[in-house]
Amino acid sequence: MSDNPSTIRIDGQEIPFTAGQTIMDAALAAGIYIPHLCHYSGLPPSGNCRLCVVENGNRSVAACITPAVTGQEIRNNTPELNEARKAITQMLFVEGNHICPSCEKTGNCKLQAMAYHLGMLDDHFPQFYQRRELDASHPEILLDRSRCILCDLCVRASRDMDQKNVFAIAGRGTDAHLIVNTPSGKLADSTMAVTDLAANICPVGAILIKEIGYEVPIGQRIYDQQTIRETGLQEHVD
Ligand code: SF4
Ligand code: SF4
Ligand code: FES
């Protein structure tokens, strides 16, 4: 237990936090990477991807939704937790249609980069071969639900930053899917613009901007230059 009233320990390292910060906020501010896919600095957390689960004493908690509390002893970068994170990542791969070599997002994709980070060498689980609706109705934005990992980031970005509420997640469990809040259910009938945060926040290749395909060549993309650990720390804003 720390004597400092405003510190927690992560993997033995004492770090400060301020009132209102989550374990994730405090960790990233201190330069400690906790793997995450649905956390985005500046948006309310949803706690749905479970990549950020850490051990707080003998409890497992999602770091992005759990407040930092004085004296917490957090375990984060352990072989057991990283194995569990790898299994979650493998599940995300088989739940959708993730054929990286044919995907425009390759090299810029957080799911793919997470797989590299966790040393994932195969899918492990059987493929679901999902058939989900593709929406190419919008003149500038493509929505390919077959790659959606239901991270909820576009929902929160559209609602809380763009003030448009274009998206929602409907259904539960294996029936969960992304819907567009228009009478037709089509993106073309929404007010979504290519400059919206929701159009640019997707961590995978589910929401893509049309007509810029392969503008940045493979080999020169984000995760060709940096690891997801490095970008994850850089993206944090206090
Ligand atoms: Fe691969 Fe990412 Fe595209 Fe899925 S979205 S196919 S993980 S590059
Ligand atoms: Fe997340 Fe992208 Fe799916 Fe939206 S479309 S829920 S941002 S994966
Ligand atoms: Fe915490 Fe996704 S980053 S649950």
- Cα–ligand 1 centroid distance for 116 (angstroms): 12
Domain locations in the chain as residue ranges: 7-77, 84-226
**pLDDT for the residue 5:** 63
- Average confidence (pLDDT) over 153-164: 98
The span from the CA of 51 to the CA of 230, in Å, is 16
d(CA 36, CA 85): 10
Whether the CB-CB separation of 33 and 81 falls below 8 Å is answered with no
Give yes or no for residue 2 having a pLDDT over 50.
no
Which CATH architecture fits 84-226?
A: 2-Layer Sandwich (3.30)
7-77 is classed in which CATH architecture?
Answer: Roll (3.10)
Q: Is the CB of 207 under 6 A from ligand 2?
A: yes
- Name the residue at shortest CA distance from atom 1 of ligand 2: 151
What is the distance between the alpha carbons of residues 158 and 222, in angstroms, rounded to a whole number? 24
**Does the pLDDT of residue 4 top 90, yes or no?**
no
Q: What is the pLDDT of residue 175?
A: 87
**Range of lowest pLDDT (4-13, 48-57, 94-103, 158-167):** 4-13
Is the complex ipTM more than 0.90? yes
Task: Specify burial of residue 220 (Cβ count, 10 A radius: 0-12, 13-18, 19+).
Answer: exposed
Closest CA to 140 of 204, 217, 199: 199
Nearest-atom index, ligand 3, CA of 62? 1
What is the per-residue pLDDT across 54-82, written as a single tens digit (0 to 9) for each? 999 999 999 999 999 999 999 999 999 99
